[in-house]
Structure 1
Amino acid sequence: FRDITERKHIENRRRDTEDLLRQQQIALLGLTSNSVIQSGVLEPALREITRVSATTLHVRRCSIWLLGEDHAALQCKTLYDAGAETYSSGTELLAHDFPSYFRELLSERVIDAADAQHDPRTSEFTASYLAPLGITAMLDIPIRFKGKLVGVLCHEHVGSIRPWMLEEQQFGHAIASLVSLALEAVERLHAEGALRKSEGRTRLIIDTALSAVINMDDQGRITAWNTQAEQTFGWTSQEAIGRSLADTIIPPTHREAHQRGLDHFLKTGEGPILNKRVEVTALRRDGTEFPIELSLTPLRLENAYTFTAFVVDISERKQAEEALRTSEARLMMTVQGSHIGIWDWNLTTGAIYFSTQWKHQLGHDDTTLPNAFDEWRLRIHSDDQPFVHKTIQSCLDGECSHFEIEHRLRHRDGSYRWILSRGSLIRDVYGVAARMVGIHIDTTDRKRSEEELRAAKEAAEAASKAKSEFLANMSHEIRTPMNGVLGTTELLLNSALTDKQRHLASTVHRSGRTLLAIINDILDFSKIEAGKLDLECVAFDLVQVLEESLELFMEAGRRKKLQLTQQIDDKVPHYLKGDPVRFRQILMNLLSNAIKFTENGGITLVAEFVSGTTTHAQLRFAVTDTGIGIPA
C-alpha cells in the first residue's frame, strides 16, 4: 500500500497553476476583445486595464505611469484602488527624489519586489508612501511603445510579503502590451492600420500562452491557432485556419458527437462541456490519438458565436498515472500473496479502510464487512480490549509513534483469530495526529503450535516428575529391608564364626553396602530431577574424609597390587563447612573408577590449595592413576 499524498499535492499545485493561467487568459481575451481598449480614448482604456489587472492578480492597487520625454519624471495616468473601487490620477514622481527606482526602471527590467519596504529598488518609497498605505510588495512592469520605454505598469499588494510567480510576471507583460495597444490606438492614423496592429498584439498575447489556444466560429471552422497549437497538433497556423475543427483535431469516432453538441448549443445555448475542464481524446496531424485537457468557452460577438478552446497535452501525466496504478497493483498483489492485511485510519474524518486480505483473515469479503471503525473495535476479545485501547491511546497522546500488539479478533464463524497488529502514527505539518496506518498478520497457527508445544512440555515434565517420585519411593522401599540385612550381617560378623562362614557373611555385607550405595545414588538422581536435592552445610574434617575415602579402597588396591597414596597441600585447611556426604560420594566414584581401570602401578589422591580468604577457600581435588585413562 503506497502513500500518494505528495503526488496529490503536486497535482493540486499544478491544477492551481493551470487555473491561474486560465483566469489570466480569459482576462486577456476579455480585454483584447473589449472595444474600449482600441477606441483611441486613453482614460477609459487605462481604467479598464488597471481594474482587470488588479482583480486578476488580487492586488489592492494597480496604476499606469508614463515617463516624460527626458525621463526625469513619471506621471500617473490612472490609479485603481480595488478596496475603495475608485480611480485617481495626476501624481508626479521626480527622478532626483527616487534615483534608485528610476535607475532600475530605465534598465527596462521587471521590478518584482516581494518585500518592497526593504528591497533596495523600492525602499525609497517606504517612509512617504509604502508604509503609510501598508503596501508590502510591488510588481512593476516596464511599458514599451514603438521600441522605447514609455512608462511602467505598477501593482501594489497590501498584506504579507508576496513573492511574484513567473506566471504573474508573464501576465503583467501581457497587460503592459495591452497598455501599449491602448497607446497605439490613440495614435493610430486610420482605422485599418490600428486594426492590423491590434490583431498583431492580440496574436502575440495568445501565442505566448502556455496552452494551445484555438478559436472556432459557429460553423465549426478554425479562426485562430496559436504557436502552442502548432506544436501540439502538428498543423501550422496557415494550414489550420479555415479548416473544419472536427476534421483537424477530433478523432473520427467522436466527430458526429461533436457536431451534435455544436448544433445543440446553437439552438439552446447549452453544452455539457462548456466552461469546464474535461479530459478527451484528440488527433494529431500524423493520425495518432492522445489525451488532452480541454476548456471551451463560448463568446457572442454581435449576432454570431465564437468559441475559444484552451488545450493542454496530458500524455505524460496519463503515463505517470498508469505507471502509478501498475505499481500499486503490483504492491497489492505482493501484499495479498504474503497474506498481510492493510488498514488505514483517517483520524480527522474518522474514515477507515480495510484491505480485502484484512477482511479475509476474519472470513469476510468486501461485501460482508464494511469499512467502519466499529467493525474492528467490536470484534476485539473482551480480555484484550483494555490493553489494545491503552496502546493505541498512548500513540495518540504522543507517547509513541509506532506500536506492535497481539490480540484476538472474532471470526465470521464465531471463533477468535490471533492477530499481530503493527501500526504507525502519521502527523500533519502542524504536528497533529492525522492518520494511523498498519498491517495485520494472522498468527493463529503459530499460537496453536506454541500451545501444543507448551502442553507437550508440561506432559513431559509431569512424566519425569512421576518417574522421579517412583524411583524415590522404590529407593525408600528397598533401603528399609536392606538396612535390616546390613544390621543382621554386622551382628553375625561380631559372633563366633568359622572362616568360611565369616567369608560368606563378609561377602553379603559388602554386597549389601554396595547395593545401598546404588539405592542412595538413585534417590539422589530422583531428587535432582525433581529439583529437591538439598546440599548440607556442616562443619567436617576434610583430611579425615580424604583418609577414610582412600582407606575404603585399600583392600581392593592390595588385591590388584596397586599402591594407593595421598598428597595433601600444607595450605589445605583441615576443617571446612560443606556437605561431607556428597563430597565423599564424588571421591569414592573417582577412586572406584581409578581402581577399576588400573591394572598396575598406583593411584594418588591429590588435594591442592588454589586461593582463599579468612572465610572461604578454593581447592582442587584430583585422582591420578597409571591406568588406560579416558580419551580427550
Structure 2
Amino acid sequence: MRSAVAATAMNHQQARVSPPLRWLIMGAVGLVVAVGAYVWRYSGSPSAQTLGDLSELFAAVVAAVSCAGAAYKASEERRAWTMLALAATVWALGMAAYAWYGITRDHVYPFPSVADLGFIGYAVPAAVALFMFPQRRQNLSFWLRTGLDALVIALAILFVSWSTVLGPLYRAGGAVLTQITGLAYPIADVLILSLVLTLGMRRPAGQRMPWLLLGGGLVVLSVTDSIFVFLLSAGQTGLTGTPLVLGWMAAWFMVALAPWVPRSPAAAEVRRDVALAIELVPYVPVFFAALVSASVVLSDDRFLFTTGLILLFAVAWRQVMIVYENVTLTRDLEAKVAVRTAELAGLGAIVQASADAIVGRSADGVIRSWNPGAERLYGWSAEEIVGRHEEVLVPADRREEESAVLERVRWGEQVPRYDTERVRKDGSRVPVALTVSPIFHEDAVQAISAIGQDISERTAKDAALAAARNEALESSRLKSEFLATMSHEIRTPMNGVIGLTSLLLQTPLDETQRQYAEGVQGAGEALLAVINDILDFSKLEAGKVELELADFDLRGLVEEVASLFSLTAHGKRLELVAYCRPEVPALLVGDGGRIRQILLNLASNAVKFTATGEVAITVRSTPEDAGGVTIRFEVADTGIGISAAARTRLFESFSQADASTTRRYGGTGLGLAISRRLTEAMGGEIGVDSEVGVGSTFWFQATFPVAAQTQVAGQHLTPDLLEDVPVLVVDDNATNRLILQSQLTAWGMRPDVVEHPRSVVARMRDAVAAGHPYAIAVLDMCMPETDGLELARLISIDQTLNDTSLVMMTSTMQVDVAELKQAGVREWLTKPVRSSEFYDRLMRLMAPKAASAASAASLTGELAPRTVAAASLGRVLVVEDNALNQLVAEGVVSKLGYEVDIVANGAEALQAISTIYYSAVLMDCHMPVMDGFTATEEIRRGETNGDRVPIIAMTAAAMAEDRERCLAVGMDDYVSKPVNVTAIQDALTRWIRTQPAAAPMLTMGEQAQPNGDGSVIDMERQAVLRELGPDDGWGLLPAVVRAFSQDCPIILEAMRRAVETGDSPALGQSAHQLKGAASNIGAVSVAALCQQMEDASSTGAPLDSELLAQLEIELDRATRFLRDVLSAA
C-alpha cells in the first residue's frame, strides 16, 4: 500500500508547477524583460540589433533542445515533439544565417536570403507536428465540423492577411523572388494560425495548458513574422533591434515550456462557459475580417471579394450544421435515455440477484447503493447503511490500507482483486475478497463500485493446509536432524569397510579373492558416496550446516576443480577449460569448501552427460555498492541438453531429468538439490539454461566480501615484462581462443588469435617483415589438418622466426619431452591450464629477453653487472622446478639475509647467470628442459677467467652415486632435501665467505626418515616452516601445505600410469619429485615409500602396485593431517 500512497502523491504533484520549472519560467521572463529594456532604450542601434539577433537564436535553440528532450521522454507524443524540435532547429538555422549577415555586413541584411528558407521552411514540420499529436477517436460528424471550422478560420485569416499584408505586397510588384518570398511569410502564418486554432479547440481538458503554450507561441511567432514583413515592405530597417524581437523570443520560450507544464492526471468535466467559448473560437477571425472589410472596397479586389463570399458561405454552412447536430442530438438522446433506462433495469435485477455483496460509493466514500448480497454478508439493511461513510465497515487496523486503495481508485486506477476484512453489524469480522473499480463519467471518476465475496471457507481451508504443511515440514526436519546427528555413526563403519578392504587388497590373494575384494571395495565406495549425499542433504534440511568465513583463492579453487576432471575429460576426448575473468578478485571471504562442492557437482554432471565437444567453467564478477562483489559461476557443456519440462524439477531432491538417466549414469539425484540448498544458504541463486541436443549452462551466483590483498611469495618478476608483448594464439577451439585472448589482454599483451594452423607460418613471416615479430606463439597440440607439434617444427626450421618462443598446450600429461624439445617448444602446459601457471611460464620466457635487451634491471632493479647489493649478504640463485620447493628454498635463504632469484630449470639458470652476478647457486639435479648436472657442466665450461661461482646441489636423492656425479660435473657442495636451515646456512657461509679453490668433501644433509612413533608428519619440520617467511606465527607453513595439496594428485596420477604401462624411468622421476615435496613438508612416511619406489625403478626391478597402494594410503593420511593444519591457519 505504500506504493499506492506514493503514486497518489506523485499524481498530486503533477498538478502543481515544480520548483525547477518555476525558476525556468522566471528566468525566461527575466531575459525577455532585460532584452526588451535594452532594445527599447537603444532601438535600431547596431548593438541592439546584435543583441536581438543573438537573443532570438538563443530562444530558438532552447525550444529545439526542450522539444528534443520531450521527444526522448514521451511515448505517444514522441513523433510530434520530434517534428517540433526539427521545426525549431530549421528556424534557428535561418536565424543563425541572419545573425551572421548582421555581424559581417554591418547589419545590412539581404532580402531575400538563405535565412528566409529557415524562417519560412519551419512551418512545414511545425504543421506536421500539430497533426501528429494524439487525438481521441471521433465520428464522421466530428471531423466534418473540424474541417469546416478549419475552413472558416483559414478564410478569415487569409481575408485579414490579404487586406493588410498579402494584397499590398502582391500589388507592389518588384523582383519575382522578392515578391514570392514576401508572400510566403503571411501564407505560412495563415497555415500555422489556422491549424493552431482548429486543433486547439478539440484538445482534451487536461491537455489544454500545454497546447495553450504551444499554440500561443506559434500564434505569436506568426503574428510577429507578419508584422516584420509588413514593416519591412514599408521600408523600415533594423527591426531585430526593436521591441519586435520580444515577440520572437516570447514565442520560442512558450514553445520550450509547453512540454514540461503539468497536466491534469484525469480529465475534468468541461464547464458550460468554457464549452461555449470554444465553439465561438472560429468567429474570432471572422469578427476581425468583418472589421477589415469596412476599410476596403471589395469590388476593387476580385480575390478579396471571392474570399469574403466563400467565408460567408462557410459560416452559414457551419450554423446549419450546428442546428442539425442539436436536433439530431435531442432525438438521439431521447432514444438513448429509453435504452439506458432498460439497461439499468436489467443491471439492477442482476445486482439484486447476485450472491456477492455489491456496494456503490461516491468518490469520497459515502455509500450510495446496497444490494441484498451485502445485507446477507455484512448484516446491515439498505435503509441503515445508505448515506453513511464506508469506514463503518472497515476495521480500525485496516483503515490506512483502505484509504490508500480508495485514493488510487479516485485517480482512475483499476485495483486488482485483494483479500481483506470487513466488520459486520454485530462487530464480528468477516474475510472478504474485494474488487474495487472506478465508475467514469465523461473521463472523470464519478463513483466507485466494490464487489465483495465471502472467503471464510477458503480461509479456513488455507489455514488447515498451512498447518498440515508445517506439520509435514516439522516431521521432515526431525528426520533430517536425526540423520544429521547419526552422520558419524553411519560413516564410521563404512570407512572401516573400505579401509579394511584396502588393507586386504595389499595382502597375497589369488585372482578370485582379489576380484571379490575389489568388488567389495568398489561397492563400498559407491555406497559411501550415496550415504554422503543423503547425509549432506539431511544436514542442509535440518539447518545443521554452518558456513565458514575465511579467505580463499577463487582462481586456485576453480582451476583445482577443473584439474580433478581433466583425465576423465581427456579419456572422453572432451575439451575442458576453466577461466576466471581478469576483473574477478584474487581473494574472497566465504566458505571456499562449499563453493568447491557446488562446482564439483556441476562439473561432474557436465563431464558425465557430455559425449563430444567441450565443458567450460567460467567465473565473472560484478562489483556491489557495499564493498563486496557478486560472483557468477557458469558450467557450460555441449551435452544432451534438458527439456523445459525437466528443468522445472531439476533442483528437487532425489530427482533427475529422466528416469533413464539414473539407469545409464547412476547417481542419487541429490547433487543439484544440495547445490541449490548451499547456494541459498549463501544468499545466492542457482539455475540452468538449456536446449535439448545443444547443451546446458548451469550457473550459480552469490555475493562475497573481498579479502585484503596479500602479495604472493616468490613473485619477483614484474608484470611490465608482458606489457605490449605481441603473442600469437593458434587453437581450433573457439572457447579456448576466447579465454586465452582475454587472459593475455588482461596481462597487457597484444594477442592475435588464429583458428587454422595452415596460415600461421606465413602470418609470422609477415609480422617479422613488418618489424613487429611475435615474441611468443601459443600452440594447441591437437588440431585438425596440422597438429601443434608439426606446426612447431615448421616454425623452428624457419630461421627468420628464431626469436619467437613456443608454448604448447596439451590435453594429456603423457608427452614426449624429447620430441617437444626437438620441435623447438620451450614450455608446455596440460589443459585445463591454470592461469597462474600460464602467467609464470610467460614471465619465465620473457625475463631472459628483457634482461638481454635492456639490462638486468628487469630482475634486480638497478644492480650493476657482476656486483652485489651492499644491503644483503649476497645474491643467491635457486634453480628448482617444483613450486613448493621454490617456496621453501626462497623462505630459508631470505631468512638468512640473502637476496634470492628463482628460476625453474637449468636453461633459465644459464641465462640468469650470464647477466647477473650470484654469490652462490642452489641447484636441483632433476628438472625438465635442462637438469642440474647439464647446467653445471655448461656453467663451468663458460668460466674462463677463474671467477668460479659456487654451486651447491639441492636434491632429494641420497644415494652415493648421486653424490659422486655431483662432484664429477663440477658442483661444490651437497645439501639433501628436506631443506634444513642449518645445513643451508653452513653451506652458504662456507662458500660465499671463503671461496676455496678446491672442493671439499660433500656434506650430506639429514635424510628424512619415518618417525619411530608412527606419526604422519615430522613436527620438527613443521616448526621449521613456521619460523620461515611472514612473522605471523605460521610462516611459510600455510603456503607450503596448499602447494603440496595441489601438486600431489597430479604426481600420483602420473605414478599410477607409469605402473600401469610399466614405465620405470617415468615412475622413478615422479617418485623423486614427490619425495622432494614430501621431505620438505615433513611427510616422512611418504618420502620413505617414494625412496623405495625410486630405488626399485633405478634397478629395473618389477614395478610394485602394492607399494603404490601403500603410498596412496600414507599420502591420504598426510594430506588430511595437513588439511587440518591449514584449516587451523
TM-score scaled to structure 1, two decimals?
0.34
Larger RCO (CA under 8 A, 6+ residues apart): 1
Instruction: Decide which structure has the larger Cα Rg and report it.
Output: 1
Give the structure with the higher percent strand.
1
